[in-house]
């Protein structure tokens, strides 16, 4: 079973992402949703996700801080930054993290999901 983690403080974005994943993924999966990156960081090692979708702009702990503290142990999930920021500096910074597979702009759209899961 695939395990997918969504870390985003925007419930609408999380809802859209979850619905698109459900539409395109044709194998058993479980989605774990976190509104706070710090909460996700506490539980992620027990989840061992295959995929992780991470928002950048969140209160308390942002996506960059999460990436600095997250070090995969058992598995290395494919990490996708999912952000409303179109700032080229953010895109370039995301490329500095080897574990980040791709920088995607919100809202999540069909072509992203079909590309990721095909």
Domain ranges of the chain: 2-116
Q: What is the rounded average pLDDT for all residues in the chain?
A: 91
Architecture of the domain delimited by 2-116: 3-Layer(aba) Sandwich (3.40)
Calculate mean pLDDT across residues 7-17: 93
Calculate mean pLDDT across residues 37-49: 94
- Long-range contact set of residues 55-61: C-beta below 8 Å, sequence gap at least 24: 55/7, 55/8, 55/9, 55/10, 55/13, 55/82, 55/83, 55/106, 56/81, 56/83, 56/85, 56/90, 57/83, 57/84, 57/85, 58/7, 58/8, 58/9, 59/9, 60/36, 61/36, 61/37
Q: What is the pTM of this model?
A: 0.92
Calculate mean pLDDT across residues 76-85: 91
């Amino acid at each position: 079973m695939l395990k997918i983690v969504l870390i985003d403080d925007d419930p609408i974005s999380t809802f859209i992402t979850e619905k698109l994943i459900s539409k395109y993924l044709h194998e058993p999966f479980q989605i774990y949703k976190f509104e706070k990156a710090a909460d996700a960081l506490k539980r992620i090692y027990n989840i061992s996700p295959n995929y992780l979708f991470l928002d950048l702009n969140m209160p308390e702990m942002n996506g960059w801080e999460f990436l600095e503290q997250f070090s995969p142990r058992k598995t290395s999930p494919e990490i996708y930054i999912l952000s409303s920021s179109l700032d080229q500096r953010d895109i370039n910074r995301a490329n500095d993290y080897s574990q980040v597979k791709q920088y995607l702009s919100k809202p999540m759209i069909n072509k992203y999901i079909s590309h990721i899961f095909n």
